[in-house]
Amino acid sequence: MAHPFVKFLTERDLIPASAATLLCKSRSFVRQPIGMIAVSHGLLRPDQIDLVLDRQRSHKDQLFGEIAVELGFLTRQQTEMLVRIQELRLAADITETLALAGVCTYEDAVRYLGAFLVRDCEVAAMMLGQA
């Protein structure tokens, strides 16, 4: 399944659909685990990650962030922000790949990312009734 940023690009004809298909098939984009992002920002310690992962092994239907909130390691707001950061990093990786593959210029790729992020914030605000 294509990342929302790739869908955004193809739906607006900013990149050809064939480039998006090739991009998705030729490159494996991996989300950085939110636990690692949390550690890099000082929100979690490695031993806390181990505790969350231990519980996750026996509760496979629960997400890492849900368990971290249940254990009191993170707040729901922190978890939501970590997921957004995770998605931003993945979209930035896609941006770099587009530029390096020559699908578009670096400047255009960054501009497209900015438009995607602004649109994403506007959609989130509408869903929360803040628009």
pTM listed for this prediction:
0.79
Tokens of 13: 């004809």
At residue 30 the predicted structure's pLDDT band, cuts being 50, 70 and 90, is confident
Residue 64 and residue 67: Cα distance in Å, rounded? 5
Which amino acid belongs to residue 23? L
Q: 20 vs 120, which has greater pLDDT?
A: 20
At residue 117 the predicted structure's pLDDT band, cuts being 50, 70 and 90, is confident
Give the per-residue pLDDT at 131.
43
Domain boundaries, the chain: 4-127
Tens digit of each residue's pLDDT (9 = 90 or more) over 33-73: 999 999 999 999 999 999 999 999 999 999 999 999 999 99
